Structure formats: C-alpha cells, structure tokens
Amino acid sequence: MSGATPRPIDEDDLLALVDGRLDPARRAFVEKWLGSHPEEAARVAADRDVRRRLREQLASIADEPIPERLRLTNFIPLRPEPVASRWPIAAAAAISLVIGGAGGWAGHAAMQAKPILERSGAGSATRDAVAAFRTFTAEVLHPVEVKADQEPHLIQWLSKRLGQPVLVPDLGAEGFHLMGGRVLPAGNTLAALLMYDDDQGTRLTLYSRVGAADGRSSFRYAREGDVAAFSWVEGGLSFVVTARIDEARLLRTAGTIDAQLRARTNATP
C-alpha cells in the first residue's frame, strides 16, 4: 500500500538479505537501516563471508544425492528462538539456501543450529558431549581407557556396557585415526566416547548414548566457543561428533559416520 509505514526490520529480513531473497524495495530499506546500525551491518557482512566460504568448501559434494533421512519431509521442526539468542549462529543459518544437492542438505543441517545450552533432547547429549570433549582431549597420558590396538575388545566392552551394538567408524577418509575410547556416566544410563586424531594433532570425539526414541533425526549443529558439534539420532542412539574444526569438515565427518551406521543397519537382518 502506497505511503504505508514499512514493517520493522527483524532477523528474517537480515538472513534473507544475506541469502539474496529480499525484493528490491525491501532490500533498499534494510540496507539503509544497516547504514545507521553498524553492529548489525558488521554481522551481516560476516554472515555473507561465511556463506561464501562454506559454499566453496562444499562445492565438491554439491552434485551428490540428498540422503533420504535428510530430506525436508524428515526434518524436525524447531521452536522459534529470540533474536538475541540466535545471532551467534546466524552465520550457519545464512547458508541454508546457498548450495544445491548435497550442499543443500548440508546447509539445512547447519541452519538448524541450536544453542549449546538447550535443556532437553539432542541438546542435552550435545552439552554432555562437548563437556567430555573438553575434558578428555586435553589429556596427554590418559585420553582414552582402551586404546585403538585393542579395538575388538573396545567394541565388545562398549557394546556390553551400553546394551547396544557400538560401531567404531573408520574415519581415515576424513584424515582421522582411532585413538581409543571410554565409558562415561550419562544420567541414569551410560555413554561411549570414541576419540580420533589426525596428523596435525587435531582431536575429534564421537559420543553416543541410548536415546529417548528410535528411528532417525536430522543433523543439528551447535557451537560453544571454539568447539563445534553435529548431533543426530539413529536407531535408538543419540550421536554427537565434536571437534575444533570448521563446520564443513565436521559435517563431512558426521556424514561419513552416519553412512557407516546406516550401512550396518541395512546389513542387519
């Protein structure tokens, strides 16, 4: 309506601006507003840079098919969050419409980033996984209880304690090699923690524990300071892969783990 007062600018406008989804009139209005709000303008600029870099990093998998479990019809809706709490993960959200094919599902997984302090569900597992990561990756002499040279025993031990078959994924394609694992308390149940490292001294953990539901869920991204994590549910277990690496590499690693989990599930009668 001509002469009408434009509606106030909100977070959706800023994310749409980064994605290039605003119509010309609204875009001009938002950009003019940013001219008098330097803090928000800096955040938008940073989001655009992350969008560009992540698109470049995921270009190699852009033509791969979207995994069935990560199609839009399988995504779990997330409740809206206050603008202030979502700004720290706006950079991840900004890539949701950037990349087609596998890049598209990767972007959507990152868009579902949740604050690390979410109080229930996958957020609880993620919070515990990040705490375990910080505790044990800092260890020099005793980062694991059972070392990789005892892998058959490690698998048997973890599976028995969790009451579920535990898979030790092969992450050699992602540059990570198994160091070993340990059992951790997790409320009224137990969790398994597998630790990996690469040739540069970067450590990565895979945390798993019995979940509240069977079936599968979409990937959810979270970050706490310099630690990033992807979490999901598969076959009655909650999984969290955690490391101090960029989101694209961590997402590829999570995808590798998930593919091996699904291959094992499909091979089980």
pLDDT tens column, 136-185: 999 988 999 999 999 999 999 999 999 989 999 999 999 999 999 999 99
Q: How far apart are CA 107 and CA 56, in angstroms?
A: 12
Q: What does the pLDDT read at residue 187?
A: 83
Question: Cβ(191)–Cβ(207) under 8 Å?
Answer: yes
Average pLDDT rounded to a whole number, residues 36-44:
84
Q: Which of 71 and 230 is assigned the larger pLDDT?
A: 230
Query: How many CA atoms lie less than 13 Å away from 33 in the CB half-sphere?
Result: 17
Domains of the chain with CATH codes: 11-111 (no CATH), 122-267 (3.30.200.100)
- Going by C-alpha positions, the residue among 244, 236, 237, 196 that lies closest to residue 214 is 236
Q: Which of 57 and 169 is assigned the larger pLDDT?
A: 169
pTM for this prediction: 0.59
Low-confidence winner among 79-88, 111-120, 203-212, 225-234 (lowest mean pLDDT): 111-120
Q: How far apart are CA 233 and CA 70, in angstroms?
A: 12
Other CB atoms within 10 A of residue 170 CB:
13
Asked if residue 84 has pLDDT above 50, the reply is: no
Other CB atoms within 10 A of residue 121 CB:
18
Asked if residue 44 has pLDDT above 60, the reply is: yes
